[in-house]
Structure 1
Amino acid sequence: MEVALPRDLEQHASLAKRRHAELCRQRQIFNARNRIVGGDTGAWDVQVHDQKIKEATEKARHETFAAEMRQNDKIMCVLEDQERRDRKNLCRVISDFQQSFQKPETRREFDLSDPLVLKKDLPARQSDNDIRNTISGMQKFMGEDLNFHERNARINQNRAEDFHTETRLQFDETAKHLQKLESATRKAVCAAVKEFNKNQAMEAAEKKKQERKQEQEDNLSEIANLLRGDLLSENPQQAASSFGPHRVVPDRWKGMTQEQLEQIRLVQKQQVQEKLRLQEEERQRDMDWDQRRIQSARATLLFERQQQRWQRDLSRALDSSNLSLAKEQQLQKKYMNEVYANQPTEDYFTQFNTTSR
């Protein structure tokens, strides 16, 4: 068993210290952000770590307080419900006790304050011949017998019937008088209406006679005007419109003249010839356009064929050039393999950027 000497321990500690310093230096140098921005990242990390611990502690404390408050709220709600139930039970028990053992009629002085004492008491007299209805009691006077209201009701009913009979007789007399007045008034109105209708009939007959006479005169005047007017004489000027010489009044127009018809036929013939000429020009233009399209298509086809021939020639030249370049690359690769026989391995590239010196 080997024993570590103090000198060996010091060497190991010094070596570990140098390794740690080298690692810290590599982190500062190989980290582009720390190298460009600068600053004590270790202190920053410690501050960030402390801040996170502080925030976590504060959050845990608040959550603990919140949990305690929620628990206290639940306890308060339970206690309030229990107190409400106890108060309700106590009130119910007191009410039951009062209804069972403290009724008002069980008190000694209840007869002095009984609200139904008058209803329970007997009346002063139950009939006109009650033995309690003595002279000294003064419970019955003249006209105060128990049948007093019925007797008064019969008297009032008899009076009302007499008044009703008298009133009905008066109404009958008044109705007879009004009927006589209505009959006289109806006769006078019928006579006036008959006279009015007679006058109206006479006026209507006279008016109809005058209208028939006026209508005959108007008809004779209209016949005379038509005989002498331009309508039957077929005057072409009567159909002339005030809106221009090219417009006519439809209900007066008798048709076109022979000159107008000849002019219209001439214009129609000219229009037909003009239309034939335009159709011929259109056909010539279509033929020219068809000829041009055929020539353009032929030229395009020839150009495409020439392009295809050029493309084939270019592809052959390019294939020949690529073949020559491939042969040259193979020869150059063969020469490089002969000259540079020792090829670098992965270990050669991984040795860079491993130390800070």
Structure 2
Amino acid sequence: MAVWKGPLSYIQAYPSITGAEMYKVDIQADTKDAAVIEARRNREKQRQSRIFNARYCKMGVDVESLKRQVEERKLRDEAEKQRSEAFDAYRVRYDKIAQMLEEEECQRRKQLNQAMVEFWEREQQPFMRREWDIHDPDAARKDFPARVSDDDPRCGPSSMQRFDGEDVNAQAKIKLQKELNKLTLGHQISQREKDLNDQKYADILDDKKRIELDLRALELTRLEEECRKAKAMAVADFNRAQAAEIAEQQRLAHQREQDDNFTEIHNHLTSNILMESPDLAQSVMGSHRVITSSWKGMTRAQLEAVQKTQAEQCKENQRLREEERQRDAEWDRQRHLADRAAMEMDAQEQNFRQQLRKGLDDYNRELAEAQKANLQYLEKEVYTNTPTAHYYLQFNTSSR
């Protein structure tokens, strides 16, 4: 059995723990309890604000989501309206095209009928027919009379001019008339059949023409779409060609400017004013100064010195670039190492979280078992009496 020996014994047993540290631990515990109480109060206030808010309790819906759905529905309706308007515009356009094609077909048919009538009037006159001499109403007037006079040379001495009641060619005339009537009737029958066939052929042509107009409308629609695409491609090609032409003109202008500059420099270098002796260009102000109006340029030694300096500068630049490249490589290596270290730390943190989660799950399981046992104890040992009406009146007085 453990015996309480007072705080002195604990201080003697644990000399590393001072009184200040002990009181500091107590203060931290009080602060932690106060923070827990304050957090509990805040949660209670938030719970009350949710529970006693009649709007959320009665409606039970997400108003913002409903507003967003209404806006989306309006946008869909507007898009559908624009789509319908576009379809209506296309429908009106195609109707206009069909009307134009129909009017064009009517004009073409009218022109064809007019040309047919003109052909009939020009090439198929009644007097041009083969049997016109039979149906000519002026045939009797155009024919020669039986005799002109009594001394008509067509009549001989024994010729008799006329006999009452005698017609030698009556049977031949009747037969000829019957044949002519038969030929006329056959011609009328064939003409009737031809007209019926022409009408049937015209109906077939109308049907085919209507189908052709529909196909032409579809073809025009397709050609219009292809034309629009071709136009867009042509505009793009034209823009590219124009841009290339402008770039080429700029390049040529720049080249001409460079050529003019080089030509001017060459003319200045080879002019008489610059071909004088270099001694004349020395200034009296010092050997490092020259007379610009008489100076023809640097000597070969000076040019070699400048080129040598430029070569040294190039080597120095290469060395600097190499150092910068090595420095960038070192930075990349350090960054790679840092990334690997971060990945390892992430893996360690993930492992620690898994272990912590596993411990928390075990603790929650034990807590659930304890709560289950406590619930069984309450149901079997504590809550054995039946609640009365007075028991239910104590609810809904707070958020709990």
TM-score (norm 1): 0.30
TM-score (norm 2): 0.27
Q: Of the two, which has the highest radius of gyration?
A: 1
